[in-house]
Amino acid sequence: MKNDIEIRLANLNDLDCLWTLEKDTFDPFKYHILSRRQFRYLLTKGNADILVASHDRTILGAAILFYRKTSSLGRLYSIAVHPNSQKQSIGHLLFYNLEKTMKKKDLKGFLCEFRQDQNWLSNFYTKLGCKMIAILPNYYPDGMSGVKMQKLFEKE
Ligand SMILES: CC(C)(COP(=O)(O)OP(=O)(O)OC[C@H]1O[C@@H](n2cnc3c(N)ncnc32)[C@H](O)[C@@H]1OP(=O)(O)O)[C@@H](O)C(=O)NCCC(=O)NCCS
């Protein structure tokens, strides 16, 4: 892993970098990608947190967390590491910190989804303690199904 990766909450100064990361990481034919305006909303008014992984002031990855007043579960809307920086444990680092962030808010766990054709993501999430709870037919823009996972935090 790269040394000196900082994980912190994003702020409005990160808007352009977050949007660039989104476009560089997600194929719009396969994913519903967020617009710059949606990022601005999330950073200012949304019931959400965005965690960023940065190195030398460059944002290499981000995790977007949604909260609902009526639920004790958070939602990991997306987790992304720039293609040039993948497989260097930044995803794991983000994952560890997003759990810490949700626990501080007294959440009991979280939900997340991935594309069913991304088989390896099943291992990625399972190794991190998530369990499959549903298949979501026709979930992505190209019609691909989603796999819905849930992680419940152990009581400390
Ligand atoms: C998912 C993602 C965030 C993982 O981040 P990362 O920094 O590459 O992850 P890590 O380096 O912590 O490694 C995670 C594990 O997945 C494996 N992995 C990562 N990319 C992989 C790939 N393309 N194919 C197969 N395995 C892969 C690694 O080998 C590692 O395995 P290990 O734990 O057995 O050693 C990143 O691949 C990504 O941004 N993907 C595109 C966006 C995406 O699909 N997000 C998830 C749905 S929102």
Q: Is the CB of 54 under 6 A from ligand 1?
A: no
Q: What is the pTM of this model?
A: 0.95
Query: Under DSSP, is residue 96 helix (H, G, I), strand (E, B) or coil?
Result: helix
Pocket test for ligand 1, best of 86, 116, 117, 125 (most atoms within 8 A of CB): 86
Q: What class has domain 6-152?
A: alpha beta
Rounded Cα gap, residues 4 and 80, in angstroms: 18
Catalogue the long-range contacts made by 102-106 (C-beta closer than 8 Å, 24 or more residues apart): 102/65, 102/74, 102/153, 103/153, 103/156, 105/67, 105/74, 106/72
Q: Compute how many other C-beta atoms are within 10 angstroms of the C-beta atom of residue 74.
A: 25
Q: Where in the chain are the domains?
A: 6-152
Q: Is the CB of 76 under 6 A from ligand 1?
A: no
Rounded Cα gap, residues 21 and 94, in angstroms: 15
- What pLDDT tens digit does each residue of the chain (156 aa) get? 567 999 999 999 999 999 999 999 999 999 999 999 999 999 999 999 999 999 988 999 999 999 999 999 999 999 999 999 999 999 999 999 999 999 999 999 999 999 999 999 999 999 999 999 999 999 999 999 999 999 999 977
Which atom of ligand 1 is least distant from the CA of 81?
A: 39
Q: How far is the CA of 120 from the centre of ligand 1 (A)?
A: 8
7 neighbors 53 (Cβ within 8 angstroms):
yes
Instruction: Specify the pLDDT at position 15.
Output: 97
Instruction: Specify the pLDDT at position 129.
Output: 96
